[in-house]
Amino acid sequence: MPTPAAPAPTTSLPPEASTAPDPAPTETAPTLPPEARSGDAVGAEAFIRYWFEVSNYAYRTGDTSAIGAISDATCATCANVVENLDRTYDAGGSVEGGQVHVHGVSALDPGPDGRVVTRTSFEQSAVLDRSSDGSTVKPEVPATGMLYPQVTVVWGGQEWNMVEIAP
């Protein structure tokens, strides 16, 4: 009786561990702080700081959905930020800088219409728009130095919305 052939040896090796670094975690939008959930001066101040954190996030990532959600439809500055970032990122470009550092916010309790007009102090880093190939789209916008705009927010009974950032 013939001897059965032995199975062919396998030459597969165990998979090697990847040496590529893990991809960077995806940045998530800032979370509304608990203080910004109250309809008083403390809530207004916390909301304004939060709005600028969300703006910084939008500049870094191109994700403008969060800033649009917390901005009133009448806020021209808000609309300009969203429009400019969407135009750049939708074309495959990116933005360097544009980060706002808030130094202070001074608010009073809302009036009968829910509006709070504040004096806010902040500075913004230089902004440079790049196209998808990395070239500069337009001249760099220089850093602002300290600004003291009038910032208006409105309490809608459950949440704040940015209404205006005016010189």
Structural domains in the chain, sorted by start? 34-166 (3.10.450.240)
- Kindly state the average pLDDT of the residues 47-52: 98
Coil vs helix vs strand at 14: coil
Confidence of residue 49 (pLDDT cuts 50, 70, 90): very high
Coil vs helix vs strand at 124: strand
Q: What is the pLDDT of residues 75-110, one digit of tens each?
A: 999 999 999 999 999 999 999 999 999 999 999 999
- Residue 133: per-residue pLDDT: 95
Cβ contact 143:100 at 8 Å: no
Alpha helices in the chain (DSSP H): 41-61, 65-69, 76-90
- Residue 25: per-residue pLDDT: 57
Nearest Cα to 155, choosing from 48, 78, 53?
A: 48
Mean pLDDT value across the chain: 88
Cβ contact 64:136 at 8 Å: no
Give me the count of residues in the chain.
167
